[in-house]
Amino acid sequence: MELLSDQGFRVDGRKPNELRRFQAKMSVFSQADGSAYVEQGNTKVLATVYGPHEIRKGKGKAQHDKVNINCQYSMATFSTGERKHRPRGDRKSTEMTMHLKQTFEAAIMTHLYPKSQIDIYVEVLQSDGGNYTTSVNAATLALIDAGIPMKDYVCACAASFIDDTPLLDINNLEESSGSPELIVAILPRSEQIAFLQMNSRLHEDNLSKVLDCAIAGCKDVFAMLDQTVINHIQSVSASLSS
């Protein structure tokens, strides 16, 4: 099955540097401090944020100079093609949890809330590739919805390298084809990389091409996230003033 046709079209009809359809909504739930829902193509992710609040379990883990960031990454059992037996607790989910924690520790202004805790919970409802990237984008919106001060947005995008062409925002079929996968999360305004992971094998000559492609994708995602926040604020202030 060829992932890139001769005319330059991918399996789902996109061009190599095209993002999947992006749709997002903030404040999806009223009980959480902040929540957001993001759809990138067929991947659907819900993120909620609670905090900052007092550290509940293990007061001994309190840090005197910064806030504790507690993440949980969970996938619904019906989210994948093959049914998952456990939504969380397996190695992949634990690894994702640590990656998310590491990413947001770089972006949140942790020095503002010492000895406190911020919880970020991510639930994947439908998985079609780009689970980490969509989770990061959803969690960013949820943190903004909760009003937690951050240095910048965190935007993530994944890229692959197939048939000498960098492909942006890969879906599940392209991910499982065995081609290299580069996942990047950046702080767009300063262009700092908060998270970088590469799987499989990529020649170093091609690295800068794929990295540039991924970073360009992240900047496009930033434009979408920013627009979502602006739309949300406009609708909230319109309903408050009327």
Partner 1 sequence: MAQISLSEAERTFIIHGIQDNCRSDGRSCEDYRHMDLETDVVSNTSGSARIRLANTDVLVGIKAEIGVPLPERPSEGRLEFFVDCSANATPEFEGRGGEGLALDISNTLSKAYDNPSSLDLESLCILPKEQCWILYVDILLLECGGNLFDVASFAVKAALHNTCIPNVSLHRGEDGETQLDLSDDPFDVKRLDIKQTPSIVTVSKIGHYHIVDASMTEEECCLARLMVGITEEGTVTAMRKSGLGSLHPDSLYEMIETGKKVGKDINKTLYKRLLEEEKLGQNKRKVGFLG
Q: Tokens representing 105? A: 């520790």
**Rounded to an integer, what distance in angstroms lies between the CA atom of residue 242 and that of residue 229?**
20
Q: CB atoms < 10 A from the CB of 4, how many?
A: 17
Q: Mask 193-232, x = binds partner 1 (CB under 8 A)? A: ----------------------------------------
Q: Which of 17, 55, 87, 152 binds partner 1 (CB under 8 A)?
A: 87
**Total residue length of the chain:** 242
**Rounded to an integer, what distance in angstroms lies between the CA atom of residue 207 and that of residue 188?**
20
Q: Which of 72, 102, 116, 206 binds partner 1 (CB under 8 A)?
A: 72
Q: Tokens representing 134? A: 């969509």
**Rounded to an integer, what distance in angstroms lies between the CA atom of residue 226 and that of residue 27?**
15
Question: Is there binding between residue 145 and partner 1 (CB under 8 A)?
Answer: no
Q: Which of 15, 78, 90, 95 binds partner 1 (CB under 8 A)?
A: 78
Least Cα distance to 42 among 94, 97, 81 occurs for: 81
Question: Is there binding between residue 114 and partner 1 (CB under 8 A)?
Answer: no
Cβ proximity to partner 1: between 74 and 110 the closer is 74
**Rounded to an integer, what distance in angstroms lies between the CA atom of residue 148 and that of residue 180?**
35
Cβ proximity to partner 1: between 79 and 133 the closer is 79
Question: Is there binding between residue 11 and partner 1 (CB under 8 A)?
Answer: no
Contacts (CB under 8 A) with partner 1, residues 23-52: 23, 25, 28-32, 35, 37, 39, 42, 44, 46, 48, 50
Give the number of C-alpha atoms closer than 13 A to the C-alpha of residue 186, restricted to the C-beta side: 22
Cβ proximity to partner 1: between 25 and 115 the closer is 25
Q: DSSP H helical segments within the chain, as ranges? A: 91-107, 131-146, 172-175, 204-241
Question: Is there binding between residue 150 and partner 1 (CB under 8 A)?
Answer: no
Least Cα distance to 116 among 66, 150, 72 occurs for: 66
Question: Is there binding between residue 134 and partner 1 (CB under 8 A)?
Answer: no
Question: Is there binding between residue 116 and partner 1 (CB under 8 A)?
Answer: no
Q: Report the interface residues with partner 1, using CB under 8 A.
A: 23, 25, 28-32, 35, 37, 39, 42, 44, 46, 48, 50, 56, 70, 72, 74, 76-81, 83, 87-89, 119, 121, 123, 125-126, 128
